[in-house]
């Protein structure tokens, strides 16, 4: 694409974003500044992204971790993380999402003080770049807010310098009743500044002050940050809490048109620097709204499949896949050039907003009570009517699946592996939280120390202690890592598990959850069948319609499937990946 053509495209984005904003700079000048900032000058070669091209395949797995999830005495945590991955993940994980590794003041990294430096307690940019040499680096762009202890906010308070006009303010007398809130804290933070009392918009907490993207200097600052991260090896950008980016007083200030257009602009700039860089939007909102962030394959390359965690956990603790099956049938196939980002555990809890409209209030209530019985905590939000509603369940996935609504049982590990097998076989790119890979249990001590519910799922492992457990065949951690690693190795070898391969939901009753995958070249089929309850189940082979002229094998056990038997007997939480080809 010629520089002039791209410049016109960027200018068009800007005209849409700032149509209702009086700027003191022309669209032409701003477009040039943005392109120069990200490294696209008139004399440089401009990359040519392919429309609807998949920059991923079945081999892509993303591990989600904090920079200090594993620590070793007298060693920088990022060095320890790299050592852990080389020792235990080398043949399974090829991408790593290191949660915010910048200096921060709260929210375990998501209240960023300085976007341009690495937290000294974790390591340095050299350590980040060393990881990026061997793994695809996914980094957070915490774009909605920053720390109230940042230099930018200090300058806002002083009324001078960079950042002095970066933050969104409102009047307490404004009608803010429609604003969508993920927290119960007051929306506005009263702040004394050199220019008098101001009320700063805080979507999440009063230590997380929201940016005002009506000021194009904020956009320029973030394009500069993106350029830095690309230079340091970032291959995947996670746009944190991006749904709240644009605010308009009198509206719900979520998912606004301008927010989508800012994402389209960021996409345009990044893909003309390096088309292989992927953008993932983190939008923890109801499913229908979440899907809009694909745009027309011109916004996010991938979106978080936020409805999957609550639906899958509900399925496995209730022993009924009705809701999961209905949701799966309703999900549109991701068109080429886009993909779902599947996960069932993360540094946050099990979000319940994405289950709204999919699970009934009674089902959500039953799920919450079961998780509380398993030692989980509940975080709350204020509804539009001022009532408190459960927003998030805080619990490790391993402990969330320790039993059913009847209580704990002996199937914890099998149920946990079943959950990951279902996720790994689905359409989309899988993300696995490090504490799921390790089978980590609830960390009550950390909750007590921090006073934060989310700390329950953010354990910090001592490397030597963890190494001993992972090397012991009798520990839950060894069993979990071994079995999940086996599933990953199988998945990575099968073309039918390409993130964009065909998927079709099977109708096998409420206790058997199944779907069919077919490779893009239509040569390989895999029937993914899971017993999601605590009793043995029998399935008729005629119900999954295996073609009699093919030879079928369970990829997990390597057992041949005899069509003459007419049925299969499945143990509680057993998973079958039945395929006509085996590429492992």
Assigned domain for 537 exists: yes
Say what angle helices 412-425 and 308-318 make with each other, to 10 degrees.
Answer: 140
Compute the distance between CA of residue 190 and CA of residue 199 in angstroms, rounded to an integer: 5
Q: CB atoms < 10 A from the CB of 109, how many?
A: 23
Q: What residues of the chain score a pLDDT lower than 50?
A: none
- The response to whether 145 counts as a known ligand-binding position is yes
pLDDT for res 382? 67
pTM over 0.75: yes
CA angle 546/549/552 to nearest 5° reads 50
Assigned domain for 172 exists: no
Among all chains, which residue has been given the structure tokens 């404004």? 174
pLDDT for res 118? 98
567-570 and 278-281: which strand pairing? unpaired
pLDDT for res 256? 98
pLDDT for res 311? 97
Tokens of 443: 């960390």
Q: Which sequence positions are flagged as catalytic?
A: 240
Kind plus residue range of the DSSP H or E element containing 263:
helix 257-271
- The response to whether 385 counts as a known ligand-binding position is no
pLDDT in tens, 16-57: 999 999 999 999 999 999 999 999 998 778 988 999 999 999
- The response to whether 348 counts as a known ligand-binding position is yes
268, 278 contact by CB (below 8 A): no
* Domain that residue 506 falls in: 502-579
Sequence-ordered alpha helix ranges (H) in 305-443: 308-318, 322-330, 361-373, 397-400, 412-425, 434-437
Q: How far is CA 168 from CA 180, 187, 306, 312, 345, in A?
A: 16, 11, 28, 38, 32
pLDDT for res 1? 62
Assigned domain for 574 exists: yes
Assigned domain for 516 exists: yes
CATH of the domain at 552: 2.60.40.1180
Q: What are phi and psi of 472, to 5 degrees?
A: -95, 115
Compute the distance between CA of residue 124 and CA of residue 38 in angstroms, rounded to an integer: 23
Strand partners, 407: 404
338, 301 contact by CB (below 8 A): yes
Assigned domain for 545 exists: yes
pLDDT in tens, 81-115: 999 999 999 899 999 999 999 999 999 999 999 99
Nearest one of 480, 489, 512, 516 to 501, comparing CA atoms = 516
61, 27 contact by CB (below 8 A): no
Assigned domain for 229 exists: no
CA 259 to chain centre: 19
Compute the distance between CA of residue 359 and CA of residue 362 in angstroms, rounded to an integer: 8
Domain count for the chain: 1
Compute the distance between CA of residue 443 and CA of residue 76 in angstroms, rounded to an integer: 23
Assigned domain for 376 exists: no
- The response to whether 107 counts as a known ligand-binding position is yes
pLDDT for res 525? 96
pLDDT for res 384? 64
pLDDT for res 323? 96
70-71 and 461-462: which strand pairing? parallel
Q: CB atoms < 10 A from the CB of 157, how many?
A: 18
- The response to whether 13 counts as a known ligand-binding position is no
Q: CB atoms < 10 A from the CB of 547, how many?
A: 10
Assigned domain for 523 exists: yes
CA-based R_g, the chain, Å: 24
- The response to whether 435 counts as a known ligand-binding position is no
Strand partners, 140: 238
Tokens of 545: 């319609």
């Amino acid at each position: 694409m010629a520089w002039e053509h791209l410049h016109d495209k960027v200018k068009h984005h800007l005209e849409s974003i700032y149509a209702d904003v009086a700027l003191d700079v022309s669209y032409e000048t701003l477009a040039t500044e943005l392109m120069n900032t990200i490294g696209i000058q008139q004399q440089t070669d401009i990359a040519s992204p392919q429309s609807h091209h998949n920059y991923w395949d079945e081999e892509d797995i993303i591990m989600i971790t904090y920079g200090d999830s594993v620590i070793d005495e007298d060693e920088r945590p990022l060095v320890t993380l790299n050592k852990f991955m080389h020792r235990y993940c080398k043949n399974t994980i090829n991408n790593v999402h290191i949660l915010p590794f910048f200096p921060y003041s709260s929210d375990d990294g998501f209240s960023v003080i300085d976007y341009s430096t690495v937290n000294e307690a974790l390591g340095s940019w050299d350590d980040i770049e060393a990881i990026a040499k061997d793994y695809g680096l996914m980094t957070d762009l915490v774009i909605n807010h920053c720390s109230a202890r940042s230099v930018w906010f200090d300058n806002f308070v002083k009324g001078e310098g960079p950042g002095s006009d970066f933050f969104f303010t409102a009047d307490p007398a404004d009608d803010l009743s429609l604003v969508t809130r993920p927290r119960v804290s007051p929306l506005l933070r009263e702040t004394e500044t050199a220019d008098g009392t101001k009320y700063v918009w805080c979507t999440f907490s009063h230590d997380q002050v929201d940016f005002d993207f009506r000021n194009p200097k904020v956009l320029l600052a973030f394009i500069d940050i993106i350029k830095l991260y690309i230079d340091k090896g970032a291959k995947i950008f996670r746009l944190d809490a991006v749904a709240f980016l644009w605010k308009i007083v009198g509206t719900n200030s979520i998912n606004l048109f301008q927010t989508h257009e800012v994402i389209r602009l960021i996409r345009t700039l990044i893909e003309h620097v390096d088309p292989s860089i992927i953008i993932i939007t983190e939008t923890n909102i109801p499913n229908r709204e979440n899907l809009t962030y694909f745009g027309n394959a011109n916004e996010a390359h991938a979106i978080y499949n936020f409805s999957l965690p609550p639906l899958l956990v509900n399925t496995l603790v209730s022993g009924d896949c009705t809701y999961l099956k209905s949701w799966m049938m309703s999900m549109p196939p991701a068109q080429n050039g886009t993909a779902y980002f599947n996960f069932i555990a993360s540094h946050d809890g099990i979000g319940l907003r994405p289950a709204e409209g999919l699970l009934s209030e009674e089902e959500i209530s039953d799920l919450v009570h079961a998780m509380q019985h398993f030692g989980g905590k509940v975080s709350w939000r204020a509804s539009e009517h001022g009532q408190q509603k459960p927003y998030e369940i805080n619990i490790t996935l391993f402990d969330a699946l320790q039993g059913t609504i009847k209580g704990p049982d002996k199937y914890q590990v099998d149920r946990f592996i079943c959950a990951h097998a279902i996720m790994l076989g689905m359409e989309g790119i899988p993300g696995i939280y490090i504490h799921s890979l390790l089978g980590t249990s609830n960390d009550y001590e950390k909750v007590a120390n921090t006073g934060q519910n989310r700390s329950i799922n953010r354990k910090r492992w001592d490397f030597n202690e963890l190494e001993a457990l992972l090397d012991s065949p009798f520990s839950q951690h060894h069993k979990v890592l071994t079995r999940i690693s086996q599933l990953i190795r199988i998945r990575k070898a099968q073309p039918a598990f390409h993130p964009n391969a065909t998927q079709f939901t099977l109708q096998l009753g409420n206790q058997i959850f199944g779907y069919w995958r077919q490779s893009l070249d239509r040569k390989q089929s895999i029937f993914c069948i899971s017993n999601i309850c605590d009793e043995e189940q029998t399935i008729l082979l005629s119900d999954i319609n295996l073609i009699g002229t093919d030879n079928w094998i369970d990829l997990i056990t390597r057992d041949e499937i005899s069509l003459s038997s007419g049925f299969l007997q499945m143990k509680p939480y057993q998973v079958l990946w039945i395929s006509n080809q085996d590429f492992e």
